[in-house]
């Protein structure tokens, strides 16, 4: 029997938890330390997280090192309603937010969007070694960023010179680590300096790993990789109020991997490839911030290049996939009569090309996508306690397939509105409405050629569909954040709670028709079509408590998804998950040790037509231990130890085809000087 959980039915639980939560305290004072100011960039304006009235998780550098994540997705694995898709191969991992993943979650790096989706190839390319922090905005947000943000936004921010300098004119660090599971070795070096009018940073990393060992002792073949990369930044105070920032990144990942890295390889369809991925990202930011409430201007120009070369190991057949993305972001913030108005324009072009060697192969288009858009966001105070946030964005996009001599143009308008109530110094409530869309990609619109063959001359072929409509999402959400200090002494309690309902229409899905053998043999066709009208709803609860050196946190995420037409369950909805984290600081907090427990329920909501076998996904509980030591005798040294999956459990996340890694002992040492 199928059951559906309505978020509003869980409102009493939210109300009950408003009186509990999480805290942080100062050991040398009887008064609790105020909430830390966390500046968020995913909203396109540098605002304190506690003022936004949005569901956002921020993972900072210290937490990234404590987690020892293998990918950007892995760094976010302890956040509510955020899960990893793709199995243990780091290069295949992507982020799922509230049941939406892949290209339905937009990613940005240092304020520049990065859009890449081609078959089963990787889409996240920034290595965690270069991360300063990661922000995960949950829920539709196209009024901020345009196409792609149906599920949310993953905003990745790279390390900056100030992170190494610490009020000095020169700083550097060396960081090296080892993972016992796959004999992975990671090494990072970084140098930074400051002059009279400029500061700079140069960083490089190298990573080498063998195949992953699963919890049952088996080896996950073709999961080894070797990668290296660099980051260079220069920030120059050109004149008073004028700043230029140059950012250059590059990386290369090489290794053997199945064509679909999220599944086991086979000799008929999921062939093993030697894949070499190269990326180059360059951006130039001009900031102008004079002593005027009307001008806080930023202009960002960027270029992203991705080049993936593949060779099938069995017969040396080669493929090449390339994307060049050029963009220009213009924004300004004006403040007048208490109103904060942000407005700007985004212009970008994507040039996609692919070469598939051999006969009876897909023919991806040689395509160019042009987008221009304008947006505005307004924060309007009603009185001292109430604020109205309004947003609107217009996007015009066109995609031309040069090899087919055809073009498709469309436009979309995305709206957002929020009523934010600062009920007290310790409580903020927000009722939100946010829209989002995702424009169809060039591959979805214009792919031709052969999908697969059952016999010579009997091949299923791709059929273009230039009439695809954009995917659409509209989300209603009630969000609350509560903060208490000195409840049980010098402590802090922090709680976030949200319930949401996201209506998503016109999902773009690949549909394979055939092959048919009666009354006449017909190999059939493959095309992309608009399908489900669906509802995604759920809740998130997140609380933390800190008293002196003791810290406790809990995070719970629940999402339900249903096809509004057929009543079937949606796929890729993560299991209900509870995450607990307990840590304590010893030796005047120079040694911090903790335990994290992830408890995922079974996912039995798998009632959909294609699931003829009635497959379900088992529950699992995974325990991780961690410790961090900064010896007082060596102020620049920091040692991090992780023991992940301490019981060496053999388990899989819901919907994944490949089990997760077994026990991992990860040791990192960092020295700053």
- What does pTM read for this prediction? 0.91
CB 331 within 8 A of CB 44: yes
132: in domain? yes
Q: How far apart are CA 424 and CA 427, in angstroms?
A: 5
Q: Which of 168, 63, 123 is nearest to 642 (CA)?
A: 63
| Residue 543 forms part of a structural domain | yes
Position 38 scores a pLDDT of 74
- Kindly state whether residue 401 falls inside one of the protein's structural domains: yes
pLDDT tens-digit series, residues 437-468: 999 999 999 999 998 888 888 999 999 999 99
Identify any residues that bridge with 388 across adjacent strands, giving them in sequence order: 380, 419
The reported pLDDT for the residue numbered 37 is 64
Q: Give residue-wise pLDDT tens across range 78-119.
A: 999 999 999 999 999 999 999 999 999 999 999 999 988 888
Element housing 418 (H / E)? strand 406-424
In contact, 437 and 467? CB cutoff 8 Å: no
Q: Which residues contact 248 (CB under 8 A, 6 or more apart)?
A: 230, 231, 232, 233, 280, 281, 282
pLDDT for the residue 5: 40
Answer yes or no: is 2 within a domain.
no
Question: Would you say 644 and 78 are in contact if contact means Cβ atoms under 8 Å apart?
Answer: no
Give how far Cα 264 sits from Cα of 269, 519, 658, Å.
10, 35, 7
- Res 575: pLDDT: 96
| 371 assigned to some structural domain | yes
CA distances from 307 to 71, 279, 322, 353, 512 (A): 19, 6, 5, 10, 28
Q: Specify if 484 maps to a domain.
A: yes
C-alpha dihedral (400, 402, 405, 407), degrees to nearest 10: 0
**Residue-range definition of the domain harbouring residue 87:** 7-672
For 199-226, letters b (16+ CB in 10 Å) and e give bbbbbbbebbbebbbbbeeeebebbbbe
pLDDT at position 453 is 85
| DSSP for residue 441 | P
Phi then psi dihedrals of residue 62, to 5 deg: -60, -40
Residue 621 belongs to a domain = yes
At residue 570, what are phi and psi to the nearest 5 degrees? -85, 150
Average confidence (pLDDT) per 10 residues, the chain, 673 residues: 37 35 36 60 81 90 92 95 93 94 94 88 92 95 94 95 92 96 96 95 97 96 95 95 96 93 84 95 96 94 97 92 96 93 96 90 93 96 95 96 91 96 92 96 92 87 93 97 85 95 92 87 91 92 94 97 92 96 92 97 91 91 97 93 97 94 97 93
H helix count then E strand count, the chain: 6, 38
CATH code for the domain in which residue 645 is found: 2.40.170.20
Q: Report if residue 1 sits inside a domain.
A: no
pLDDT score of 589: 84
* Domains of the chain: total: 1
Assess contact for 538 and 573: CB atoms under 8 A. no
Which helix (DSSP H) or strand (DSSP E) does residue 445 occupy?
A: helix 442-446
């Amino acid at each position: 029997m199928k059951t559906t959980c309505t978020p509003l039915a869980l409102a009493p639980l939210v109300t009950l938890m408003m009186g509990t939560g999480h805290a942080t305290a100062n050991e040398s004072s009887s008064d609790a330390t105020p909430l830390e100011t966390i500046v968020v960039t995913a909203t396109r304006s540098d605002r304190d997280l506690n003022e936004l009235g949005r569901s956002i998780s921020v993972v900072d550098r210290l937490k990234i090192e404590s987690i020892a994540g293998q990918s950007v997705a892995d760094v976010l694995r302890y956040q509510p309603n955020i899960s990893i898709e793709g199995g243990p191969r780091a290069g295949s991992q992507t982020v799922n937010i509230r049941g939406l993943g892949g290209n339905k979650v937009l990613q940005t790096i240092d304020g520049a969007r990065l859009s890449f989706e081609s078959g089963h190839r990787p889409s996240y390319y920034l290595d965690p070694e270069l991360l300063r922090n990661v922000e995960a905005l949950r829920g539709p947000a196209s009024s901020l960023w345009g196409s792609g943000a149906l599920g949310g936004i993953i905003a990745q921010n790279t390390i900056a010179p100030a992170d190494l300098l610490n009020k000095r004119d020169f700083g550097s660090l060396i960081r090296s680590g080892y993972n016992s599971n796959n004999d992975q070795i990671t090494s990072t070096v970084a140098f930074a300096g400051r002059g009279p009018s400029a500061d700079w940073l140069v960083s490089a990393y190298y990573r080498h790993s063998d195949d992953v060992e699963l919890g049952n002792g088996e080896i996950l073949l073709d999961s080894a990789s070797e990668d290296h990369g660099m980051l260079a930044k220069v920030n120059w105070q050109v004149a008073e109020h004028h700043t230029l920032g140059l950012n250059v990144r590059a990386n290369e990942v090489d290794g053997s991997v199945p064509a679909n890295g999220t599944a086991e390889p086979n000799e008929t369809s999921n062939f093993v490839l030697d894949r070499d991925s190269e990326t180059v990202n360059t951006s130039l930011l001009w900031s102008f911030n004079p002593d005027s409430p009307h001008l806080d201007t930023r202009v960002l120009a960027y270029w992203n290049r991705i080049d993936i070369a593949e060779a099938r190991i069995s017969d040396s057949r080669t493929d090449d996939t390339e994307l060049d993305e050029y963009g220009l972001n213009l924004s300004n913030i004006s403040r007048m009569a208490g109103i904060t108005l942000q407005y700007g324009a985004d212009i970008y072009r994507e040039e996609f090309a692919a070469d598939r060697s051999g006969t009876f192969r897909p023919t991806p288009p040689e395509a160019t996508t042009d987008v221009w858009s304008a947006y505005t966001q307004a924060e309007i105070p009603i009185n001292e306690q109430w604020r109205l946030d309004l947003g609107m964005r217009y996007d015009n996009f066109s995609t031309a397939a040069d090899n087919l001599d055809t073009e498709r143009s469309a436009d979309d308008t995305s709206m957002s509105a929020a009523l934010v109530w600062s009920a007290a110094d310790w409580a903020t409530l927000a009722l939100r409405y946010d829209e989002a869309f995702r424009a169809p990609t060039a591959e979805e619109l214009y792919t031709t050629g052969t999908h697969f063959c059952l016999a010579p001359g009997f091949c299923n072929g791709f059929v273009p569909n230039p009439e695809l409509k954009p995917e659409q999402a509209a989300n209603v959400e009630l969000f609350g954040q509560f903060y208490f200090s000195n409840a049980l002494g010098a402590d802090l309690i922090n709680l976030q709670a949200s319930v949401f309902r996201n209506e998503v229409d016109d999902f773009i899905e690949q549909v394979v028709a055939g092959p048919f053998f009666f009354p006449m043999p017909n190999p059939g066709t493959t095309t992309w079509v608009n399908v489900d009208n669906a509802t995604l709803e759920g809740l998130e609860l997140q609380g933390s408590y800190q008293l002196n050196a003791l810290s406790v946190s809990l995070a719970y995420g629940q999402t339900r998804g249903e096809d509004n037409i057929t009543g079937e369950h949606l796929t890729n909805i993560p299991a209900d998950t509870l995450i607990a984290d307990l840590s304590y600081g010893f030796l005047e907090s120079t040694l911090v040790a903790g335990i994290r427990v992830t408890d995922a329920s079974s996912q039995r909501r798998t009632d959909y037509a294609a699931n003829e076998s009635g497959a379900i996904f088992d529950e699992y509980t995974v325990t991780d231990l961690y410790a961090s030591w900064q010896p007082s005798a060596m102020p620049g040294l920091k040692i991090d130890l992780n023991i992940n999956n301490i019981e060496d459990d053999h388990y899989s996340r819901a919907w994944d085809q490949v089990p997760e890694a077994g026990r991992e002992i990860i040791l990192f040492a960092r020295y700053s000087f």
